[in-house]
Amino acid sequence: MTGAPPAEIVYLPRWRPRGSRPGAHRGRDPGGLGTFRDQVPFLALPDARRIDLRATLRDPFEGVHVRRFEARAPVEVWALVDLSASMGFRGTADRIDLARDLCAGLAASATRIGDGFGLIGCDRAIRADLYLPATRRRAAALAAAARLADAPRAARSAEGMLDAARRLAGRPKLVFLVSDFRWPEPLVARVFAALALHDTVPVLLADSAEDAGLPDWGLAELDDLEGGGRRVVFLRPALRRRWIAREHARRDALRRAAGAAGARAPFHLVDRFDADALSRHLLAT
Amino acid sequence: MGAWSAISGWLAGFGAASPWALWLLPLALLPLAASGRRRAAVAALSAAPPDPVSRWIARALTLAGILALAGLILALAGPYRAGERITRIGVGAQISMLIDRSGSMNETFAGRQPSGAEESKAAASKRLLAGFVGARSHDLFAVTAFSTAPMLVMPMTDRHDAVRAAIAATDRPGLDYTNVARGLGMALSQFGDESGVSRVLLFISDGAAVIDPRMQDALRAAFARIHPNLYWLFLRTKGAPSIYDRPPGEDTPQAAPERHLDLFFKSLGLPYRAFEAEGPQQVADAIARIEALERDPIPYTEVRPRRDLTGACLALAALGLAVLALAALAEADLSARRRTVERASPVSAEQIRRAA
C-alpha cells in the first residue's frame, strides 16, 4: 500500500454517538445543524432562530414550536490487531500485510471524515510500540498502520486482546477486531464479551491457501507458527474435504460467538484487501 | 538378564572393519528431531483434521529416515559376521573306507586286464563309491588304502570333494600284496573320539589274507573300543572262492583266507554284514543297502565363513532412502501462490458512500 492512496472504507456505526463536537455520523443529541429530527415546544428548546413558523401556525392551541435537528457527531474507530505468531502466516498473501492494508484504509477513511482512529497491537499483552490513542491526525494514524508490517510476531497467544478491550472502556466505539482467530474457544468468547459495549466488527484474516487452495494430493509437513510442533499430512481428496469442512465449522463457530456477544458478523478478509467488500459488509450488518 | 546375555552373545558374532564409525550411530536418531522435508508454516496445526493415515505415514517416514542413516553409518563401519563353526545334528555317519589296492583290483570281475568297455574292479568301485560319497551331505569320510602297507589317503573329513578326489586316486595301478591287518588298524584309527556317533567301517577288497594271531588281538581291542558297524564289500572275481565256501582240503586260514576273515569279523560281536559282489551292478546294490542301513543322527560341524554385511546395510539404507525419495516426490507445495484474482467489484466506493 505504500505510495498508493489507502482504499476508502465506508462504515455506519450501529449506535448514535453522543457529544457536541461536529462529526460525520448521526448523533443522539440534537444540535443546530443537520437532518431535521422533530419539533418540540419552544419552552423545551428556547431557540428563537429555529422557530418552525408553519408548525406554529398550524397548532390549534397556539403553541410555539421549534425545529430540532440531529447533530452529526464523530465516533472513534479502533483497530485491535492480533500480533501473535500465527499472524506471520504467508499464503496467497502475507497475513500481516492484509492487516496493515485494512488498518491503513481504516485510518484514512476515519480521519478523512473527522473520526478518530486508534490502534492497539497485542499479542500476549498490549504492545506498547503499536499503541496509538484515537487521533484525528491522518499522518499519525497512517504511520501507526504502516508500522504494523514490521512488527515482530513471536508470541504464542493473543491474551493481550483482553487488556486491549479493557482499555477501550467508556463511550461506545467502532472496534475492528483484526485477527485470524486461531485462538482457543474460551478466549474468543471472553474477548467478545469484553467488547460487548462496543460496536465490534470481527475481521477474520483468512487465506485460500489454508482451505480452498489446498492441493488434492500430496505430502506436506506442517509447521505450527505458534510452536505447536510439526505434523506430516498426506493430502487426498477426502482429507481435503474434511479440512475445508473443518474451516467452515470454525467460521460458523466464530459467527455464533460473535452473535452471542452482540458483535457484528465476521468479515472474511481472504487473500486480498477489498475495501468495497468491507464497505458493503459494514452497511449490511 | 537371560535375554540380555542372549543378545550380547548374538552380537558377539558380529564385527566391524572400522568400528570408530559406529560412534556416529546416535546420528541415526536425527529424524526424530528434524526432517529434510520442506515445511509449510501454518497458522495452527489444529486446522488440519486428525488423520490416522497421515500419522502412520509420518511414522513410516521417520522410520525410513532412521533406517537410511543407520544403514549408511553401519555400512561405513564395514560390518561383517564373524566366521564360526556351528555344530548341528544331521543324518549320517562317520565312514572310514578301507580300499584294497592290491594288483588284482586292476583286473575286471572276470579276472582279466580290462580292455575296451570293460571296467576294472578298482574303476567300478571308484565310480560307485564316488556316488555314495555325494549322496548324503552330513557324512564324514576317511579313506585308507592298503596293499603291502596301509596308506592314509584322506583323514576323516566332511569335504566330500576331497573324499571323491581321494577315491578317484585309488584306481591307479596297485601294488601286489594284501595286508589286511594293518589296513584295518589304520582304518580304525581314523575314527575320532566323539561318542554318540554312528561309525561305519567300509572294507572293500577282492581278496583276503591271513591275520596273524597277535595282530588279531590288537584288532579285537581296537574294534571293541571303537565299535563300528562293519561292512565288507567283497569283490569276488569269477572263479575265486566265495566267503562262504569251505575249502576242499583242510579248513585253515591259509587255505581259505576269505572265509576265515569273515569268521574273524563275525567273532568280533559287531553289527557286521558282508556283501559279495560279482559285478558292478552288485556293487551298486550293496552300496545302496549300506546307505539305507546307516541312518543315524550325527553331529556335524558347519563352517560359516566371515560374511561382509556392508551390502545388506547399504540395501537397508537404500530402502529407507527410496521411501524418503518417494515422499519427496509426493511432496505438495502448500505455499504455492495460487492467485485467484477476483475481479474488483464494479460498485465503487463513491456509490456506496452515496447510498449511505
Q: Assess A157–B contact: CB distance below 8 Å, yes or no.
A: no
| Residue % of chain B over a pLDDT of 90 | 12
Of A224, A234, A272, the CB nearest to B44: A224
* pLDDT one-digit tens code per residue, A68-86: 888 888 999 999 999 999 8
Mean pLDDT of A235-256: 92
**What's the CA gap between B342 and A126, in Å, rounded?**
35
Domain ranges of chain B: 13-37+48-83+306-331, 89-303
Pick from B78, B64, B66: which is nearest to B22 by CA?
B78
Of A208, A225, A277, the CB nearest to B340: A208
Kind of pairing, strands B150-157 and A25-41?
unpaired
pLDDT at B344: 41
A87 and A185 assigned to the same domain:
yes
pLDDT at B314: 93
ipTM: 0.75
A263 and A136 assigned to the same domain:
yes
Indicate the range of A52-56, A273-277, B256-260 predicted with least confidence.
Answer: B256-260
Range of the domain at A111: 76-205+256-284
Q: Which three cell numbers stand for residue B181?
A: 591287518
List of chain B residues whose C-beta atoms are within 8 Å of the C-beta of residue A280 = 345, 347, 352
Q: Which three cell numbers stand for residue B64?
A: 525410513
What is the count of structural domains for chain A? Answer: 2
* pLDDT one-digit tens code per residue, B99-125: 887 777 777 877 777 777 777 877 887
Shortest distance between the Cα of B336 and any Cα of chain A, in A, equals 8
Q: Which three cell numbers stand for residue B170?
A: 585309488
Q: What is the mean pLDDT of chain B?
A: 81
Residue A214 lies in a domain: no
A146 and A191 assigned to the same domain:
yes
Residue A12 lies in a domain: no
CATH of domain B89-303: 3.40.50.410
Q: What pTM, to 2 d.p., does this model score?
A: 0.65
Q: Could you say which residues of chain B have pLDDT below 50?
A: 337-347
List of chain B residues whose C-beta atoms are within 8 Å of the C-beta of residue A247 = 47
Mean pLDDT of A268-274: 89
Place of cell 586316486: B169
DSSP assignment string, A5-72: PPPP-----SS----SS--SEEEEEEEEEEEEEEEEETTTS--GGGB-HHHHHH-TT---EEEEEEEE
Residue A247 lies in a domain: no
A69 and A88 assigned to the same domain:
no
